[in-house]
Structure 1
Amino acid sequence: MSTVSELRITLDGREQVVAAGTTAGEALGADGRTVIAARVGGELRDLAYQVQDGDVVEPVEIGSADGRAILRHSTAHVMAQAVQELFPEAKLGIGPPVENGFYYDFDVPEPFTPEDLKRIEKRMREIVKQGQRFSRRAVSDEEARAELADEPYKLELIGLKGGAEAGSGGGIEQVDGSNVEVGAGQLTIYDNLDAKTGELCWKDLCRGPHLPTTRHIPAFKLMRSGGAYWRGSEKNPQLQRIYGTAWESRDKQDEYLKMLEEAEKRDHRKLGAELDLFSFPNEIGSGLAVFHPKGGVVRKVMEEYSRKRHEEAGYEFVYTPHITKGTLYEVSGHLGWYKDDMFPPMEVDGGDYYLKPMNCPMHNLVYRARGRSYRELPLRLFEFGSVYRFEKSGVVHGLTRVRGMTQDDAHIYCTREQMVDELKSLLTFVLDLLRDYGLSEFYLELSTRDDSDKFIGTDEDWAEATAALQEAAASSGLELVDDPGGAAFYGPKISVQARDAIGRTWQLSTIQVDFNQPKRFELEYQAADGSRRQPVMIHRALFGSIERFFGVLLEHYAGALPPWLAPVQVVGIPIGEAHVPHLEKVVAALRARGIRAEVDASADRMQKKIRNAQKAKIPYMLLAGDDDVSKDAVSFRYRNGEQNNGVPIGEAIEEIVKAVEQRVQI
């Protein structure tokens, strides 16, 4: 048994005795460079935290997910300090860590300029060199209000009780689109103290934890600035947001910056314009895409292949309207939980009609249209259904975040006994189809509910649905990452996360188990014993949306789509005008085999025609001169620049047809 001056704690799974007053950093032997914080009893703590008797203490390394979040949040504080020193009139918003970086929002009279960012970054580097110490102290609501009387946004957060800016600790919740802590816990302020004198340099309301000192920030860079509404609501003031990135080493940061350079080259918006695939005309509206003929070809091929695979898997196709009475979404619950993401209603015949934001309520009506028997289950309904969501203007982004989209939506109705096997089969189907489109690296995310009141249904139903998803995920052999609180209001879900060619992660397919909508719509089937029972409903979007998946594929392939998806698969390039008829004959034979081919009979010289084909990222160029005509052959020029001369026409056609049919990637 430990004495007053001794404490028993657990380190690395072993019990140890330490002196009272020992900090987590001392217990871990941490220098604040590799191990920068501690996890104590599951909670993240500063290294300066004094351990208590019975604590279980674990190290948090700077390169871990939690470590990077702490590093980035600390860097956000340094940035905010630099801004307020250079722009004393700036008022503080929030400054959370985000994926690959951080941001901080400021209320300033004028937007920040690129020159301002250079000045801010320079001052940040000076603060980092000073080695200011991050020091945590607890305060009451009244003390926090007194200390931050000149910070109106912080005062508003204090009014939310415990609403410190988003830190890397727990208790973070979405509030009007912003990550803001709204827990009911103790408020804390972090002081930045001078390393030599201990005098206060700057302070912020924050949950923490933080690095020991500013000198422990190894690498950072400010990226850009832009407008952002306070707490994500357009009804609130627009603040100026500065984005930055921070990493555990310069090498890691350089890797990230190089990846960003490559991502910029692959930006689907840029490629969409260069390849004449789609556009977003101002006359139509933000987030509403128009697909041009070439983009239409790609989309058509994507949809046709998906339809074929669904047909083979036993799905039945349905079609539903674009608008509906609001009462449908009252029954489903979406008006209560989802209304802010729906377009405003239009009044028709004295009632409110809404643009359809999702297909599931209408599919429930298809199921309910007549009596159902257990012999029909699983019933798999599938639709390429157009839906409309009122995304805020600040988050609309090319094809990957739109207001009008086409979901490849399926809803499967099955018995509880069938549920686990159906989920396993469904996950296999989803992964196989994504692989057919050229994606190969995946992990899974399991989104469950938390203690918030946005979720409906019984504990028993949620537990059963979650266990079924866990079993299906385990059968896939893929890594499963927990996402507590990320479930839809009606049930848990598995999300398929896919890594693209440059290592970025995209959330694609989702599979959700729903016991609640069948209850709300009073869906039933007649069981083998003659009783009436409620089916389980499984929601499944495979691409997510055609538009978003199109954008993801375009960036994954850097515009060079595999031959089976390319809008133009073959272009014939004559060396001279006399060779055009020969290539027209070849192209006609290719078209007869279903290949999208054309002849460039323009007046351009051959080298320019080749450059044009390369810019258009056409997989195959078939060149022809006198020698090719005399031998009834063509010369292959592949997209990667390789060439194969004098290939007999028959062999050339077979090579192309085989590559397209087998979905070969070149």
Structure 2
Amino acid sequence: MMKITFPDGAVREYQPGTTALDIAKSISEGLAKKVLAASVNGAVWDATRAINSDSTLKLLTWNEAEGKSTFWHSSAHLMAEAVESIFPGVKFWVGPATQNPPGFYYDMDLGDRKITEEELVALEKKMNELAKQNNPYIRKEISKTEAVKYFFDKGDEYKLDLLHNLDDGNITFYTQGGFTDLCRGPHIPQTGLIKAIKLTNIAGAYWKGDEKNKQLTRIYGITFPNQKELDEYLQLLEEAKKRDHRKLGKELGIYTMDDDVGQGLIMWLPNGTIVIEELEKLAKETEKAAGYKRVVTPHIAKESMYITSGHLPYYADSMYPPMEMDGEKYYLKSMNCPHHHKIFAAEPKSYRDLPYRIAEYGTVYRYEQSGELFGLMRVRCLHMNDAHIYCTREQFAAEFRAVNEMYQKYFKIFGIEKYIMRLSLHSPDKLGKKYVNEPELWKETEAMVRDVLIESNIPFVEVQDEAAFYGPKIDVQIFSVIGREFTLATNQVDFSQGRSFKLQYTSKDNIAETPLIIHRAPLGTHERFIGFLLEHYAGKLPVWLAPLQVKILPISDKFIDYAQNVLESLKKADIRAEIDDRPEKIGKKIRDTELARVPYMLVIGEKEISENKVSIRRQGKGDLGAKEVSIFINEILEEIKTRASE
């Protein structure tokens, strides 16, 4: 008999060869109907795969992220089966589950054929037909030789390319109905679990994300275990379209891009630059109060520094290629930490200087694949709210806790009510490859981070194999008001680079010690955070962030002089304001200002002049009545000072 340990610590015995689905049935038939996959000793498996030795087991349903991911990846295979039935001879590249947007996609080579919107509807119908057949997903282990022959006979260069990098003994095929694919899995038990299907988009995607390669067709979709959830999601999707930061960014004059400048390189327009300056002001005030000192570093550095840091070769694929001058190689800066380490090392330090906190809105350059670029969310030039804290081990818990408290302060300011911290851990079998080969230090620092999170009552989940190469990290996941998930920032612990750069401080005992390093970026990058804010607020930024805070609307030209006096008073108070002096009716001026999402409108007519007042309208709230200009100025200044969210 083998022992199965459940998440609550309970242990049950089963015959070797029992599947997770069998175990679920032994608990209850109702539970078994909900099981999509299983976590066996921390790895996600098919629920129908035999377990042959003592193991830890967690049954995964739709309520778990791994359950949804398995469901959507299985749906990608179902879509591929439907595509193959309608477009014989199609060749497939990869079809993963996705988090943002949620669902799945499959990249495919259709030859000279194109999929139309009408055919997308036909594919949906076919997927529903196939799902109802309730075919099982069958896993088969296969040798590399057999796999190569299978795809060679099909003339499938894409799967042959995938096989090239796989080791013999780690290859599996999955079959459902009439479709077979190279896949490591896992998959749900059968297609009948997929009850509601929507194919959402057709796009082009370069093979391997490289624009030098052939462009494939990418079909996006999403599925649910019931129609009600799909209907709710589609309603949310419609709202999300209205809030798309790319649409709002154009409408509000926030940013632009140009092919002559380059893909993924953002140019901030005057309105966007105001938002940036206000965010920087917030960060600088917060960091000054927390004891940070500001620094500025160059945008390039020599190759030798990135070899010392370990970013070469760990990070080389994400860096721009080097420039050669005078026999030296220089790289565009892809991260700020090596420069900050050099600043720490520039002057001798003692324990009295620690914790040593330095901050910079540093510009970094990362060569994201063109197929992954997306508005402000995935770019190649980033302006990062970066900082590094150099501290002793005794200081670590307090410093790490303070960083998390800074995150929570920002959440309150921006009205972020739902968030979760992802504690990203290393993978022991990748030490020396993906991660620094220090097993004991990994265990120690991961425990230190975990303890701080538990003591601070901060919600978090643990994720394997997503740490930085030099230490564990926290990825901060935030949710907009409509529930869309964003990765805001990161908070990393570094036990490696201090030694690599020979960073030292003199301890109380006059001994040279290496500091622990905390990498943190609570507001992430301007690019991603402003993209989030545009969607979170639907473009209706709070007054303190709004590029234009007040629009003055004279009813006719004879009130322009009074409007000009009001404008001067607002400008003296450092309030961003303009006059709409167009020869339009007041109704149109109000509608246009609402559409421009300006927080306040001051309407001026005969009555306002006679009473020496202005009539105030608030974005989304309508008429607030008439007030003296000085009173309005005091009220809006208080709203700006407190950074009120609405």
Shift of residue 522 of structure 1?
0.8
- Alignment of 1:187 onto 2:142: no
Deviates more, 1:226-235 or 1:7-16: 7-16
Deviates more, 1:596-605 or 1:229-238: 229-238
User: Quick one: distance in 1 between partners of 2:292 and 2:354?
Assistant: 12
- Find 1:420's aligned residue among 391, 397, 408: 397
What is the one-letter code of the residue matched to 1:84?
Answer: E
Equivalent position of 2:616 in the other structure? 636
Alignment partner of 1:480 out of 460, 475, 485: 460
Q: Could you list the per-position Cα deviations for residues 599-627 of structure 1 after superposition, in whole angstroms to 9, with x for gaps in the alignment? A: 22222221221122111111111112211
Contact 1:9 1:52 in 2 (8 A): no
Aligned position for 2:632? 652
Contact conserved, 2:559 with 2:605, CA < 8 A, in 1?
yes
Shift in Å, 1:561: 0.4
| Contact in 1 for aligned 2:365/2:382 (Cα 8 Å) | yes
2:103–2:221 CA contact under 8 A, matched in 1: yes
1:250-293 Cα deviation digits (max 9, x unpaired)? 11112222222111111111111111121112221111111222
d(CA) in 1 for partners of 2:221, 2:532: 24
1:283 paired with 2:282, answer: no
Q: Which residue of 2 aligns with 1:621?
A: 601
Counterpart in the other structure of 1:154: 159
Name the CA shift for 1:145/1:595 in 2 (closer, same or farther; >3 Å).
same
CA distance in 1, matches of 2:363, 2:578: 32
Greater Cα offset, 538-547 or 53-62: 53-62
- Alignment-derived partner of residue 170 in structure 1: none
Tell me the equivalent position of 1:35.
35
535 and 85 in structure 1: CA distance in 2 versus 1, 3 angstrom threshold? same
Write the mapping of 1:384-395 to structure 2, written as runs, cut at 5 A.
384-395=361-372
Alpha-carbon distance in structure 2 between the residues aligned to 1:352 and 1:10: 54
1:329 aligns with 2:306: yes
Partner of 2:131: 128
In structure 1, how many angstroms separate the alpha carbons of the residues matched to 2:341 and 2:324? Answer: 24
Shift of 1:156: 3.7
Aligned residues with identical type, % of pairs = 40
Secondary structure of 2:173's partner? Answer: strand
Mean Cα deviation higher: 575-584 or 364-373: 575-584
How far does residue 524 in structure 1 lie from its aligned partner after superposition?
A: 0.9
- Superposed CA RMSD in Å reads 2.6
SS across alignment from 1:133: coil
* One-letter amino acid of the structure 1 residue matched with residue 174 of structure 2: Y
| Letter paired with 1:661 | K
Tell me, yes or no, if structure 1 residue 107 matches structure 2 residue 106. Answer: no
Q: Normalising by structure 2, what TM-score?
A: 0.91
Change (3 A) 1:114 1:212: same
Distance 1:491 1:228 in 2: 33
The match for 1:172 is none
Asked if 2 retains the 8 angstrom alpha-carbon contact of 1:386 and 1:405, the reply is yes
CA deviations over 1:327-386 (Å, ceiling 9, x no partner)? 221221212111221111222222212211111111111111121111111111111111
Conserved? CA contact 2:340–2:388, under 8 Å: yes
1:562 corresponds to which of 529, 539, 542: 542
The one-letter code matched in structure 2 to 1:213 is: Q
Matched ranges for 1:150-549 at <5 A: 150=154, 151-161=156-166, 187-193=171-177, 201-233=178-210, 237-450=214-427, 451-452=429-430, 453-549=433-529
- CA separation in 2, counterparts of 1:10 and 1:436? 43
Amino acid at match of 1:27: S
Shift of the 482–236 alpha-carbon distance from structure 1 to 2, 3 Å rule, reads farther
Letter in 2 for 1:69: S
Q: Determine the C-alpha separation between the residues in 1 that align with 2:12 and 2:347.
A: 65
Shift of 1:462: 1.9
Q: Deviations over 1:84-106 (max 9, x none)?
A: 22222112322222222112222
Distance in 2 between residues matched to 1:392 and 1:376, nearest whole Å:
42
Kindly provide the amino acid, as one letter, of the partner of residue 95 in structure 1. G
1:438-486 CA-partner distances (Å, limit 9, x unpaired)? 3232211111111221111422222222222212222332211112111
SS at match of 2:315: helix
Structure 2 SS opposite 1:508: strand
- Whether the 8 Å CA contact 2:143–2:169 is kept in 1: the answer is no
Q: Which amino acid aligns with 1:404?
A: C
Deviation at 1:313, TM superposition (A): 1.3
SS at match of 1:644: strand
Unaligned runs of 5+ in 2: none
Does the residue aligned with 1:665 lie in a helix, a strand or coil? Answer: coil
For these two proteins, the number of residue pairs brought into alignment is: 633
SS in 1 for 2:329: strand
Provide the secondary structure at the position in 2 that maps to 1:528. coil
Q: Which AA in structure 2 matches 1:459?
A: P
Matched, 1:75 2:75: yes
- Distance verdict in 2 for CA 1:119–1:357, change over 3 Å: same
Q: Distance in 1 between matches of 2:4 and 2:383?
A: 55
Instruction: Name the SS for the 1:227 alignment partner.
Output: strand
After superposition, give the CA deviation of every residue in 1:388-440 in whole Å (9 maximum; x if it has no partner): 11111111112221111211111111112211111111211232134323323
Distance 1:235 1:615, change over 3 A: closer
Say if 1:446 and 1:75 are closer, same or farther in 2 by CA, change over 3 A. Answer: same
